[in-house]
Chain A
Amino acid sequence: GQNIDQPTEMTATEGAIVQINCTYQTSGFNGLFWYQQHAGEAPTFLSYNVLDGLEEKGRFSSFLSRSKGYSYLLLKELQMKDSASYLCAVMDSNYQLIWGAGTKLIIKP
């Protein structure tokens, strides 16, 4: 079966760095996405990785290792507005998105 695993909840301090991990087992791989979702809102796109390595975009970076079925989202200089759920999703061989359950990130002052 297809499976995406990520921690249910994480807590971090304002100004700090946090890494949210995602491991996956899917039938085929056509890229991995990270989305941010604030409560009651639709997800917004953060990053897309299809090749191994680190993609940096401002305060957010995403890393992928296809051989390990592993990705992480790194958030630097945390701000209170970063409190949200972070969803990891993998596009399988049929170009369908397989979603993780999301990681709720709580930022404390």
Chain B
Amino acid sequence: GAVVSQHPSRVICKSGTSVKIECRSLDFQATTMFWYRQFPKKSLMLMATSNEGSKATYEQGVEKDKFLINHASLTLSTLTVTSAHPEDSSFYICSARGVAGAGDSYEQYFGPGTRLTVT
């Protein structure tokens, strides 16, 4: 099956610094990548959708200047949390969707997630 990697898996940073999280599709081309955030015992919350070569579409309430998303190639998307604060501590998960074709289920393949702790 399709594999999506995410790096780093865990990161601890100080308040005010920026953190970059990478999401890579390893064996397929991801035309669309999604970034989710999940608080403990809560459902996934879609933050933004990014299509290769174009600007990301952010969900309502998500600050685009704080959560910078770049989808520079068909296999890589990055999320940068700028000027992180303790309330940004969360589990960030990316997913990727390949090129749609006949019978494609539009399944999203998830990365393993990144646990961000801001102190």
Contacts and interface: CB of A to CB of B under 8 A. Distances in A.
A41 B112 contact: yes
A92 B78 CA distance: 25
A96 interface: yes
Nearest to A101: B43
Interface residues of B, number: 21
Nearest to B113: A42
B84 to A, nearest CB: 20
Contact of A33 (B91, B107, B113): B107
B105 A42 contact: no
Contacts of A96: 46, 49
24 contacts: A40-B91, A40-B113, A41-B112, A42-B110, A42-B111, A42-B112, A43-B44, A43-B93, A43-B110, A45-B108, A45-B110, A87-B43, A87-B44, A95-B106, A96-B46, A97-B46, A97-B108, A99-B44, A99-B45, A99-B46, A101-B42, A101-B43, A102-B43, A104-B41
Interface of A: 30-31, 33, 40-45, 48, 50, 87, 91, 95-97, 99-102, 104
Nearest first, the 8 closest Cβ-Cβ pairs linking A and B are A42-B110, A101-B43, A42-B113, A48-B105, A99-B43, A42-B93, A99-B44, A42-B112
Interface of B: 6, 34, 41-46, 49, 91, 93, 105-113, 115
